Amino acid sequence: DIDMIITDIETITFHYGAWRLRQSGQVRAIPLKEDNDFLLDLDEPIDVIFCMTVFEHMNKPLEVAKRFYDQLSSGGLLIFDYIKSDGYGLDTQQGVDERYAVLQYIQANFDVLHGNIDSEKTLSTTVVRKR
């Protein structure tokens, strides 16, 4: 028995995922709203967060990494990657500017279980556990 939350900005991909999973009593779809700075605000702790190909698109990636830490249960997992970008296209300049700080924060507060955190390279799938 597990409960899952899918969350994203309200794009066609998010709505399609919510529609596909609508009959599962174990999945909640929560859109991220502009009036809450596109941040997820939950009262209950989360055991695992997947953040794949997202950090480089964020306006406040360091704040999001800190919120992930706060939201994770003790020993919870963060599974993520972080593209080394130049800030063009859909990537944000904040995603570029805060990349080093985000990775330093993760290294200071999580144990790496899989992958390597190297601020000079694109990170492939990396698994870290909250200390």
Answer whether 90's CB lies under 8 Å from 47's CB.
Answer: no
**Model pTM?**
0.86
d(CA 115, CA 77): 13
Residue bearing the bigger pLDDT, 77 or 9: 77
Residue 37 has pLDDT above 90, yes or no: no
d(CA 41, CA 123): 27
Task: Give one DSSP letter per residue of 30-60, joined into a string.
Answer: EEE-GGGTT----SS-EEEEEE-S-GGG-S-
Looking at the chain, the whole-number percentage of residues with pLDDT higher than 90 is 66
Looking at the chain, the number of H-run helices and the number of E-run strands are 4, 6
Q: Average pLDDT in the 98-106 region?
A: 97
The strand pairing partners of 11, in sequence order, are none
- Residue 1 confidence (pLDDT): 66
Residue 33 has pLDDT above 90, yes or no: no
